[in-house]
Amino acid sequence: MAHAIPFARMNGLGNEILVADLRGQTTRITPDAARALAARAETHFDQIMAIHDPVTSGTSAYVRILNADGSEAGACGNGTRCVVQALAAAPGGQREFLFETKAGLLEAFEREDGLVTVDMGKPRFDWQSIPLSEEFADTRAIELQIGPIDAPILHSPSVASMGNPHAIFWTKDDVWSYALDRFGPILEHHPLFPDRANISLAEVTGPSALRLRTWERGAGLTGACGTAACAAAVSAARTGRTGRSVTVTVPAGGELLIEWRDDDHVLMTGPAEWEWSGTLDPETGAFARDEAARESAS
Protein backbone atom coordinates (compact mmCIF):
# COMPACT_ATOMS: atom_id res chain seq x y z
CA MET A 1 0.00 0.00 0.00
CA ALA A 2 1.53 3.30 -1.12
CA HIS A 3 1.82 6.13 1.37
CA ALA A 4 0.32 4.06 4.19
CA ILE A 5 -0.42 6.00 7.36
CA PRO A 6 -1.45 4.59 10.74
CA PHE A 7 -5.02 4.98 11.91
CA ALA A 8 -7.32 3.67 14.63
CA ARG A 9 -10.98 2.77 14.42
CA MET A 10 -12.55 4.25 17.59
CA ASN A 11 -15.89 5.48 18.85
CA GLY A 12 -17.14 8.17 21.19
CA LEU A 13 -20.40 6.88 22.65
CA GLY A 14 -21.23 5.24 19.34
CA ASN A 15 -20.05 8.15 17.19
CA GLU A 16 -17.89 6.24 14.68
CA ILE A 17 -14.45 7.83 14.43
CA LEU A 18 -11.26 7.15 12.49
CA VAL A 19 -8.16 8.77 14.03
CA ALA A 20 -5.37 9.07 11.45
CA ASP A 21 -1.82 10.18 12.30
CA LEU A 22 -0.27 12.29 9.53
CA ARG A 23 2.34 14.03 11.68
CA GLY A 24 5.76 14.32 10.07
CA GLN A 25 4.41 14.45 6.52
CA THR A 26 2.62 16.89 4.25
CA THR A 27 0.05 14.51 2.76
CA ARG A 28 -3.67 14.96 3.40
CA ILE A 29 -6.58 12.54 3.28
CA THR A 30 -8.50 13.28 0.10
CA PRO A 31 -12.30 13.58 -0.06
CA ASP A 32 -12.32 10.56 -2.40
CA ALA A 33 -10.42 8.49 0.19
CA ALA A 34 -12.84 9.60 2.91
CA ARG A 35 -15.86 8.60 0.83
CA ALA A 36 -14.29 5.24 0.00
CA LEU A 37 -13.63 4.50 3.67
CA ALA A 38 -17.14 5.60 4.66
CA ALA A 39 -18.65 3.30 2.03
CA ARG A 40 -17.21 0.14 3.63
CA ALA A 41 -18.91 -1.42 6.64
CA GLU A 42 -15.57 -2.16 8.33
CA THR A 43 -14.31 1.43 8.11
CA HIS A 44 -17.58 3.36 8.02
CA PHE A 45 -17.28 6.53 10.09
CA ASP A 46 -19.05 9.71 11.07
CA GLN A 47 -15.80 11.71 11.19
CA ILE A 48 -12.12 11.23 10.39
CA MET A 49 -9.86 13.07 12.83
CA ALA A 50 -6.65 13.65 10.83
CA ILE A 51 -3.78 14.66 13.14
CA HIS A 52 -1.24 16.97 11.50
CA ASP A 53 1.86 18.78 12.77
CA PRO A 54 1.10 21.98 14.70
CA VAL A 55 0.50 25.10 12.66
CA THR A 56 0.49 27.54 15.56
CA SER A 57 3.28 27.66 18.12
CA GLY A 58 2.25 26.28 21.50
CA THR A 59 -0.40 23.90 20.16
CA SER A 60 -0.16 20.10 20.32
CA ALA A 61 -1.39 19.40 16.78
CA TYR A 62 -3.61 20.63 13.99
CA VAL A 63 -6.65 18.38 13.62
CA ARG A 64 -8.45 18.34 10.27
CA ILE A 65 -11.94 16.86 10.48
CA LEU A 66 -13.60 15.09 7.55
CA ASN A 67 -17.23 14.02 7.31
CA ALA A 68 -18.40 10.81 5.65
CA ASP A 69 -19.30 12.72 2.47
CA GLY A 70 -15.74 14.10 2.19
CA SER A 71 -16.60 17.61 3.38
CA GLU A 72 -14.72 19.30 6.21
CA ALA A 73 -16.18 19.98 9.66
CA GLY A 74 -15.10 22.71 12.04
CA ALA A 75 -15.52 20.77 15.26
CA CYS A 76 -16.23 17.28 16.57
CA GLY A 77 -16.35 16.80 20.32
CA ASN A 78 -16.64 13.01 20.32
CA GLY A 79 -13.83 12.77 17.80
CA THR A 80 -11.64 15.08 19.88
CA ARG A 81 -12.05 12.75 22.87
CA CYS A 82 -10.88 9.87 20.66
CA VAL A 83 -7.81 11.86 19.60
CA VAL A 84 -6.96 12.55 23.25
CA GLN A 85 -7.28 8.91 24.21
CA ALA A 86 -5.20 7.76 21.22
CA LEU A 87 -2.37 10.21 21.92
CA ALA A 88 -2.45 9.63 25.68
CA ALA A 89 -2.11 5.86 25.13
CA ALA A 90 1.09 6.25 23.08
CA PRO A 91 4.44 5.56 24.82
CA GLY A 92 5.27 8.61 26.89
CA GLY A 93 1.93 10.08 25.90
CA GLN A 94 0.83 13.29 27.56
CA ARG A 95 -2.63 13.80 29.02
CA GLU A 96 -3.26 17.48 28.38
CA PHE A 97 -3.55 18.95 24.89
CA LEU A 98 -4.26 22.13 22.97
CA PHE A 99 -5.56 21.33 19.49
CA GLU A 100 -6.09 23.70 16.60
CA THR A 101 -9.01 23.04 14.25
CA LYS A 102 -10.80 24.88 11.47
CA ALA A 103 -13.10 26.31 14.17
CA GLY A 104 -10.29 27.44 16.50
CA LEU A 105 -8.42 26.14 19.55
CA LEU A 106 -9.65 23.32 21.80
CA GLU A 107 -8.19 22.38 25.17
CA ALA A 108 -8.66 18.77 26.24
CA PHE A 109 -7.36 16.36 28.85
CA GLU A 110 -7.72 12.75 29.96
CA ARG A 111 -8.94 12.39 33.54
CA GLU A 112 -7.71 9.87 36.11
CA ASP A 113 -10.89 7.82 35.62
CA GLY A 114 -10.23 7.51 31.87
CA LEU A 115 -12.97 9.92 30.81
CA VAL A 116 -11.94 12.81 28.58
CA THR A 117 -12.94 16.46 29.02
CA VAL A 118 -12.89 18.85 26.08
CA ASP A 119 -13.27 22.62 26.37
CA MET A 120 -15.49 23.23 23.36
CA GLY A 121 -15.13 27.00 23.61
CA LYS A 122 -17.91 29.57 23.60
CA PRO A 123 -21.24 29.03 21.87
CA ARG A 124 -22.37 31.56 19.29
CA PHE A 125 -25.97 32.71 19.12
CA ASP A 126 -25.83 35.67 16.72
CA TRP A 127 -27.61 34.80 13.47
CA GLN A 128 -24.65 35.87 11.33
CA SER A 129 -22.18 33.77 13.35
CA ILE A 130 -24.18 30.53 13.19
CA PRO A 131 -24.70 31.39 10.23
CA LEU A 132 -28.29 31.89 9.06
CA SER A 133 -29.25 33.35 5.69
CA GLU A 134 -31.70 35.82 7.23
CA GLU A 135 -31.80 37.90 10.38
CA PHE A 136 -33.37 36.64 13.60
CA ALA A 137 -33.11 38.91 16.62
CA ASP A 138 -33.77 36.02 19.01
CA THR A 139 -32.21 32.66 18.10
CA ARG A 140 -33.69 30.90 21.12
CA ALA A 141 -36.63 30.12 18.83
CA ILE A 142 -36.69 30.85 15.10
CA GLU A 143 -39.41 30.53 12.48
CA LEU A 144 -38.90 27.06 11.01
CA GLN A 145 -41.26 24.12 11.07
CA ILE A 146 -41.73 20.53 10.00
CA GLY A 147 -45.09 19.57 8.50
CA PRO A 148 -48.18 21.54 7.43
CA ILE A 149 -48.27 25.26 8.14
CA ASP A 150 -51.53 25.02 10.08
CA ALA A 151 -50.51 21.88 12.02
CA PRO A 152 -46.71 21.54 12.20
CA ILE A 153 -45.22 18.38 13.67
CA LEU A 154 -42.32 20.37 15.16
CA HIS A 155 -41.54 24.07 15.06
CA SER A 156 -39.53 26.97 16.51
CA PRO A 157 -36.10 25.36 16.96
CA SER A 158 -33.29 26.94 18.93
CA VAL A 159 -30.19 27.58 16.82
CA ALA A 160 -26.56 27.94 17.85
CA SER A 161 -23.03 27.35 16.66
CA MET A 162 -20.44 25.21 18.46
CA GLY A 163 -17.96 25.67 15.64
CA ASN A 164 -20.63 24.24 13.33
CA PRO A 165 -24.32 25.19 12.94
CA HIS A 166 -27.06 23.43 14.93
CA ALA A 167 -30.84 23.56 14.99
CA ILE A 168 -32.54 21.94 17.99
CA PHE A 169 -36.24 21.07 17.89
CA TRP A 170 -37.81 20.57 21.33
CA THR A 171 -40.14 17.59 21.56
CA LYS A 172 -42.85 16.79 24.10
CA ASP A 173 -42.81 13.13 23.06
CA ASP A 174 -39.98 10.62 22.89
CA VAL A 175 -37.36 11.70 20.35
CA TRP A 176 -37.75 8.28 18.70
CA SER A 177 -41.35 9.14 17.77
CA TYR A 178 -40.24 11.27 14.82
CA ALA A 179 -38.88 10.32 11.39
CA LEU A 180 -35.61 12.21 11.67
CA ASP A 181 -34.18 10.12 8.83
CA ARG A 182 -36.81 11.65 6.52
CA PHE A 183 -36.76 15.34 7.41
CA GLY A 184 -33.15 15.55 8.69
CA PRO A 185 -31.54 15.62 5.23
CA ILE A 186 -34.11 18.14 3.97
CA LEU A 187 -33.49 20.54 6.83
CA GLU A 188 -29.70 20.04 6.66
CA HIS A 189 -29.86 21.66 3.21
CA HIS A 190 -32.59 24.20 4.02
CA PRO A 191 -31.92 27.64 2.42
CA LEU A 192 -31.90 29.14 5.92
CA PHE A 193 -28.57 27.40 6.56
CA PRO A 194 -25.97 28.54 4.00
CA ASP A 195 -23.33 26.19 5.48
CA ARG A 196 -25.91 23.42 6.03
CA ALA A 197 -26.78 22.44 9.62
CA ASN A 198 -26.91 19.63 12.15
CA ILE A 199 -30.55 18.87 12.97
CA SER A 200 -31.40 17.56 16.45
CA LEU A 201 -34.47 16.46 18.39
CA ALA A 202 -34.19 17.15 22.11
CA GLU A 203 -36.45 15.90 24.90
CA VAL A 204 -36.14 17.39 28.39
CA THR A 205 -36.27 14.43 30.79
CA GLY A 206 -35.41 16.30 34.00
CA PRO A 207 -34.15 19.63 35.36
CA SER A 208 -30.60 18.62 34.40
CA ALA A 209 -31.16 15.93 31.76
CA LEU A 210 -31.85 15.72 28.02
CA ARG A 211 -32.35 12.93 25.51
CA LEU A 212 -31.03 13.72 22.03
CA ARG A 213 -31.13 12.41 18.46
CA THR A 214 -29.12 14.07 15.70
CA TRP A 215 -28.97 14.13 11.93
CA GLU A 216 -25.34 15.14 11.49
CA ARG A 217 -24.32 17.44 8.67
CA GLY A 218 -22.35 15.45 6.12
CA ALA A 219 -22.76 12.16 8.03
CA GLY A 220 -26.47 11.43 8.54
CA LEU A 221 -28.05 9.73 11.54
CA THR A 222 -25.42 9.21 14.21
CA GLY A 223 -25.12 7.33 17.46
CA ALA A 224 -23.79 10.47 19.12
CA CYS A 225 -22.76 14.02 18.25
CA GLY A 226 -20.72 15.94 20.80
CA THR A 227 -21.24 19.41 19.38
CA ALA A 228 -24.99 18.74 19.11
CA ALA A 229 -25.04 17.72 22.78
CA CYS A 230 -23.29 20.99 23.64
CA ALA A 231 -25.62 23.07 21.44
CA ALA A 232 -28.69 21.39 22.93
CA ALA A 233 -27.45 21.82 26.50
CA VAL A 234 -26.68 25.53 26.18
CA SER A 235 -29.94 26.13 24.30
CA ALA A 236 -31.88 24.29 27.03
CA ALA A 237 -30.30 26.52 29.67
CA ARG A 238 -30.78 29.60 27.53
CA THR A 239 -34.51 28.90 27.16
CA GLY A 240 -35.01 28.05 30.83
CA ARG A 241 -35.62 24.36 30.25
CA THR A 242 -32.64 23.22 32.36
CA GLY A 243 -29.76 24.57 34.40
CA ARG A 244 -26.23 25.06 33.05
CA SER A 245 -25.00 21.55 33.92
CA VAL A 246 -26.78 18.87 31.91
CA THR A 247 -26.44 15.13 31.30
CA VAL A 248 -27.25 14.35 27.67
CA THR A 249 -28.26 10.79 26.73
CA VAL A 250 -27.42 9.93 23.12
CA PRO A 251 -28.92 7.22 20.84
CA ALA A 252 -26.06 4.79 21.44
CA GLY A 253 -27.16 4.71 25.08
CA GLY A 254 -24.31 6.58 26.72
CA GLU A 255 -24.18 9.91 28.49
CA LEU A 256 -22.25 13.13 28.07
CA LEU A 257 -21.87 15.67 30.86
CA ILE A 258 -22.12 19.20 29.48
CA GLU A 259 -21.20 22.15 31.71
CA TRP A 260 -21.77 25.72 30.52
CA ARG A 261 -19.44 27.67 32.80
CA ASP A 262 -19.86 31.24 33.96
CA ASP A 263 -16.98 32.27 31.66
CA ASP A 264 -19.20 31.11 28.75
CA HIS A 265 -16.99 28.11 27.90
CA VAL A 266 -18.69 24.75 27.37
CA LEU A 267 -17.01 21.66 28.84
CA MET A 268 -17.94 18.22 27.54
CA THR A 269 -16.94 15.07 29.44
CA GLY A 270 -17.40 11.51 28.25
CA PRO A 271 -15.66 8.27 27.22
CA ALA A 272 -13.80 7.16 24.11
CA GLU A 273 -13.16 3.57 23.00
CA TRP A 274 -10.48 1.99 20.83
CA GLU A 275 -11.72 -0.80 18.52
CA TRP A 276 -8.82 -1.71 16.19
CA SER A 277 -5.85 -0.24 14.33
CA GLY A 278 -4.49 -0.39 10.82
CA THR A 279 -2.99 1.59 7.96
CA LEU A 280 -4.67 3.46 5.12
CA ASP A 281 -3.78 5.13 1.85
CA PRO A 282 -4.75 8.82 2.19
CA GLU A 283 -5.26 9.15 -1.59
CA THR A 284 -7.46 6.12 -2.30
CA GLY A 285 -8.83 4.98 1.06
CA ALA A 286 -7.38 1.47 0.68
CA PHE A 287 -6.67 0.05 4.14
CA ALA A 288 -5.28 -2.92 6.01
CA ARG A 289 -5.89 -4.01 9.59
CA ASP A 290 -2.90 -4.64 11.83
CA GLU A 291 -2.28 -8.35 12.31
CA ALA A 292 -1.90 -7.79 16.05
CA ALA A 293 -5.31 -6.18 16.07
CA ARG A 294 -6.76 -9.17 14.18
CA GLU A 295 -5.30 -11.61 16.66
CA SER A 296 -6.51 -9.69 19.72
CA ALA A 297 -10.02 -9.48 18.25
CA SER A 298 -10.19 -13.19 17.44
pLDDT of residue 15: 87
Provide the CATH topology of domain 5-111+273-297. Diaminopimelate Epimerase; Chain A, domain 1 (3.10.310)
Query: What is d(CA 199, CA 144) in angstroms, rounded to the nearest whole number?
Result: 12
Q: How do residues 24-73 score in pLDDT, each as one tens digit? A: 999 999 999 999 999 999 999 999 999 999 999 999 999 999 999 999 99
- One fold for 5-111+273-297 and 145-264: yes
Instruction: Work out the percent of the chain whose per-residue pLDDT is above 90.
Output: 87
Domains of the chain, by residue range, sit at 5-111+273-297, 145-264
Architecture of 145-264 per CATH? Roll (3.10)
pLDDT of residue 298: 31
- pTM higher than 0.85, yes or no? yes
pLDDT of residue 294: 41
Rounded to the nearest integer, the mean pLDDT of the chain is 94
Q: How confident is the model at residue 226 (pLDDT cuts 50, 70, 90)?
A: very high
Is 295's pLDDT higher than 90?
no
- Active-site amino acid positions: 76, 225
Three-state secondary structure string covering the chain: CCCCEEEEEEEECCEEEEEEECCCCCCCCCHHHHHHHHHCCCCCCCEEEEEECCCCCCCCEEEEEEECCCCEECCCHHHHHHHHHHHHCCCCCCCEEEEEECCEEEEEEECCCCCEEEECCCCECCCCCCCCCCCCCCCCCCCCEECCCCCCCEECCEEEECCCEEEEEECCCCHHHCCHHHHHHHHHCCCCCCCCCEEEEEEEEECCEEEEEEEECCCEEECCCHHHHHHHHHHHHHCCCCCCEEEEECCCCCEEEEEECCCCCEEEEECCEEEEEEEECCCCCCEEECHHHHHHHC
